[in-house]
Amino acid sequence: MGYSSKSPWLIHYDGSSCNGCDIEVLDSMMPLYDIERFGIINTGNPKHADIFLVTGSVNHQNINVVKEIYDQMLEPKVVVACGICACTGGVFRDCYNVIGGVDKAIPVDVYAPGCAVRPETIIDAVLKAVDILDEKAKKMKAEKGRG
C-alpha cells in the first residue's frame, strides 16, 4: 500500500447544490463518523489536496471554477462526485442553467449517489477513491522511473 492512500487530503467544492450533500460532507467530519481516522483532512486548498469532493451539479457559472480547482491539484489526484446532482445533475438536470454532472467538466473517478448522500456513502466513496489514488501514484512512480 502506498502512502497516498494513508494520507488523503481533500478539498470540498459546492457546485449548484441544495446544500443537503454539503451538510452530510461536514457531518462525516463530526465525531460520529470521524473521517480523520483514515488520515483524511479537509484542506480547502487545491494545492494540498489529493481528493476533489464535489457536491451539486455543474452550471455555466461554476464550470470554469471546477476546472481550475482540478487543474491546480497536483498529481496523483482523484475526483469524487458526491450526491446524485454531482453524478448526473439529479432533479435539476433539465434546468436552463445546469450543464449536468461533474463529469461534464472534469474526469470523475468515483460516483457516490444519494439525495442527500449519506455519510457512510461518502466514506465508502473516499476509501474507494483512495485505492485509485494509490494506483495512480504507482503509475506515476513507474513513469518517473522510466523517464
Partner 1 sequence: MGLIAFLVAAPLVTAVLLMLFRSDSARRVITSAAAVVIGVASVVFAVTYMAGGLTYFGLPQEITYAVSWVMTAVDIVLCAVILWFAVRYKNRIALVLGLIQTIGVVVFANMTLSEGAEHMLEQPLYLDQLSVIMVLIVGLVGSAICVYALGYMRDFQHHEPADAPDRRHFFSALMFLFLAAMFVIVLSDNLEWMFTGWEITTTCSFLMIGYTRTPEAIKNSFRQINLNMIGGIAFLAALLIIHLSGIPMSLAALIALGETIAAPLLIFPVILLSVAGLTKAAQMPFHTWLLGAMVAPTPTSALLHSSTMVKAGVFLLVKLAPLYAVFPAASAMVVTIGGITFVLCSFMAISQSNAKRVLAYSTIANLGLIAACAGVGTAEATWAAIFLIIFHTVSKSILFLCVGTVEHRIGSRNIEDMDGLFSRLPHLTRFMMLGILGMFVAPFGMLISKWATLVSFAETGNVLFLILLAFGSAATFFFWAKWIGKLSGVSQKAENVEKGVHRSEWVAIGFIALCLLGCCLGLPAISLGVVSPYLVGVFNSNPQFIGVDNMLIMVVIVAFIAIVLLTPFGRAHKRRVGVYLAGATVQSDDRTYLGSMERKMTSTKRNWYLEDVFGENVLSNVGTVVCLGVLVIAFGASIVLNPGFLAGGTFMVDREVLLVGPDLWGLLLGIVIFAICAPVIGCLLDGLDRKISAHMQGRVGPRILQPYYDMRKLLSKEQVSVNQVDEAYVTCALIFAIIAGGMFISGSNLLMTIFLVTLATLFVIIAAYSARSPYADTGADRECLQVMSYEPMLLIMSVGFFVATQSFDTASLLRLDAPIIWTNIPIFLGLLFILTIKLRKSPFDLSYSHHAHQEIVKGITTEMSGRTLAKVDIMHWCETVLFLLWVGMFFVWSDPVSIVIALAVMAVTWFLEVWIDNNFARVKWQTCLKSAWLVALVMGVVNLFLVLITPFI
**Contact footprint for partner 1 (CB under 8 A):** 2-4, 6-7, 9, 13, 29, 31, 34, 36-39, 41-48, 50, 61, 64-66, 68-69, 72, 74-76, 137, 140-141
Residue 55 or 84: which CB sits closer to partner 1? 55
Residue 94 or 147: which CB sits closer to partner 1? 147
Nearest distance, CB of residue 84 and partner 1, angstroms: 23
User: What is the rounded distance in angstroms from the CA atom of residue 123 to the CA atom of residue 135?
Assistant: 19
Residue 6 or 23: which CB sits closer to partner 1? 6
Nearest distance, CB of residue 50 and partner 1, angstroms: 7
User: What is the rounded distance in angstroms from the CA atom of residue 25 to the CA atom of residue 5?
Assistant: 19
Nearest distance, CB of residue 67 and partner 1, angstroms: 9
Residue 13 or 92: which CB sits closer to partner 1? 13
Nearest distance, CB of residue 36 and partner 1, angstroms: 5
Place of cell 456513502: 121
Nearest to 126 by CA among 81, 75, 67, 68: 81
Residue 7 or 121: which CB sits closer to partner 1? 7
Nearest distance, CB of residue 91 and partner 1, angstroms: 25
Residue 73, class by beta-carbon neighbours within 10 Å (0-12 exposed, 13-18 middle, 19+ buried)? buried
Q: In the chain, which ranges are E strands?
A: 9-14, 41-42, 51-55, 58-59, 78-82, 98-100, 110-112
Distances (CA, A) of 50 to 7, 61, 74, 131, 147: 9, 24, 7, 12, 23
